[in-house]
Structure 1
Amino acid sequence: MDSLKPLQEQLEKVILDPRYHDPLVLVKAIRNGLVYGTKVRFPHALVMVFLFRSGTLREKLWLIFKATRQHAMNLAKFALLYKSSMLALKSLNGGKEESVHTFLAGLFGGYWVFGHGRSARSSVNQQIVIYVFARVALALAKLAVQPPGDNSLIGGSYGGHGGKGWLGLNEKQLDLVRRNSWPVFASVSWASVMWLFRHYPETLQPSLRSSMTYIYDNAEKWEDARSFLWHNK
């Protein structure tokens, strides 16, 4: 152990050097995304697969591994894109952070991780995005001035529109909506939740706020090698 002490001291010297703070924030954001995604998805996948999926033990373990890997990797990739976008936008703005930066960074990360490519519509991705959207909707409701009375949907009757649907779109327009609705939905959901977390964190549901603090806020904080690599400060 004594032979490793000089190496540890050198590592901590680099970690605590202010010159390397910004790139190390990205490293820790990736680490936090991987750890949190694994902690959240593994027990959930374990229970759901063994309760509701058929197949051999090996097949079930593979499903658990795939779901856990995707959840962890996606949170890590989003954390990297979000944090790097925030640093880039701040740098382009003369070192000053603006309110819109969080929305733009969340929009960028949300599109590339959760709204783009074949994996965007996987069950794991859809669960994450819908969870985020639901929390955004609840948070915005707290910010909005709501009229008194019953706000439930009423008059839910649907008439015919010549086969074009309620919006009256033709087939070409409908195809455009189908291809772009999920990327837009995923991107805006993530952009909104990152903006809310930055400026109105008290409006977010406590467990979501706690998870986002773990991944994004704690990526900025460490005091030694242990709190950088192993435990958050």
Structure 2
Amino acid sequence: MENIIASLDKIVLDPKYHDLLCIVKGVRNGVVYGSKIRFSHALVMTFLFRNGTIKSKLKLVLNATKEHARNLGTFVFIYKATLYILKKTHEKEQPTDTLIAGLLGGYFVFGRGGKSSVNQQIVLYVFSRVVLGLSKLAVEKRVIPSISDEIGNTVYPIFASVCWGLVMYLFRTDPQVLQVSMKNSMDYIYLDSNYWTNLRTLLWHNK
């Protein structure tokens, strides 16, 4: 047994297999990370804001966890496999390779994969980070002037105000356009708090 393990260790440490094994390890890490991050989030959100039996709630949690893990794992596979193919095609990595690989993975996994609540949350999360990252990059590259702390302290409250003003307006007028988990959270906070039948449903139980 020890000889088999030693032989396998020798194979996985062989530089000629490194690029291919990066794909395997990437898929593994995508699945594990997706499982960890989604399970805890889905568990809390489902048991706080969804109605139904414990069995039905657990099924929702497990399905969401499975989807998140599968999608991240699949994205990593497409991304790293595309990088591998492109590198073999022109013998060394090009600056645009990561963009091409990301576009392909994003299209097939999160675009063609369906507009589920899990996919929407992931894409919206990535989108907000991309916008923030691009704004920071624009300042670093001097495309836009740097904002002083004094101006930033003035702009941020306006930004926060506009975000919350718009989301509350949409929630009031067209709540169906909001992401499902956000709408459920806002229903709980802003609508359910308008109704109760006794002291118990006022202070202890929502309904």
TM above 0.5, yes or no, is yes
- Residue 134 (structure 2) aligns with: 140
Q: 1:43 aligns with which of 40, 57, 78?
A: 40
- Aligned mates of 1:16, 1:5 — CA distance in 2: 16
- Structure 2 unaligned residues grouped into runs of 5+: 160-207
Secondary structure in structure 2 of the residue aligned to 1:131: helix
Per-residue Cα deviation, 1:111-147 (whole angstroms, up to 9, x for no partner)? 0000004xx2000000000000100000000111335
* Structure 2 residue 131 is the aligned partner of structure 1 residue 102: no
Q: 1:21 aligns with which of 14, 18, 22?
A: 18
- Aligned mates of 1:67, 1:24 — CA distance in 2: 28
Q: CA deviation at 1:31?
A: 0.3
Secondary structure in structure 2 of the residue aligned to 1:79: helix
Secondary structure in structure 2 of the residue aligned to 1:104: helix
- Aligned mates of 1:58, 1:10 — CA distance in 2: 45
Larger C-alpha radius of gyration, 1 or 2?
2
Per-residue Cα deviation, 1:173-225 (whole angstroms, up to 9, x for no partner)? xxxxxxxxxxxxxxxxxxxxxxxxxxxxxxxxxxxxxxxxxxxxxxxxxxxxx
- Aligned mates of 2:24, 2:87 — CA distance in 1: 18
Secondary structure in structure 1 of the residue aligned to 2:45: helix
- Aligned mates of 2:56, 2:7 — CA distance in 1: 45
- Residue 115 (structure 2) aligns with: 121
- Structure 1 unaligned residues grouped into runs of 5+: 154-233
Considering fraction of residues, name the structure with more helix: 2
Identical-pair percentage: 53
Paired residue type of 1:46? L
- Please identify, of 78-87 and 140-149, the stretch whose mean Cα deviation from structure 2 is larger: 140-149
Secondary structure in structure 2 of the residue aligned to 1:54: coil
Paired residue type of 1:22? D
Q: 2:124 aligns with which of 123, 130, 135?
A: 130
Q: TM-score, normalised by structure 1?
A: 0.60
Which segments of structure 1 move beyond 2 Å, counting only runs of 4 or more?
145-153
- Residue 81 (structure 1) aligns with: 78
- Aligned mates of 2:69, 2:118 — CA distance in 1: 10
Q: CA deviation at 1:26?
A: 1.1
- Residue 208 (structure 1) aligns with: none
Q: TM-score, normalised by structure 2?
A: 0.67
- Aligned mates of 1:17, 1:96 — CA distance in 2: 20
- Aligned mates of 1:10, 1:60 — CA distance in 2: 46
* Structure 2 residue 58 is the aligned partner of structure 1 residue 61: yes
- Residue 163 (structure 2) aligns with: none
Higher relative contact order (CA 8 A, sep 6+): 1
- Aligned mates of 2:136, 2:20 — CA distance in 1: 36
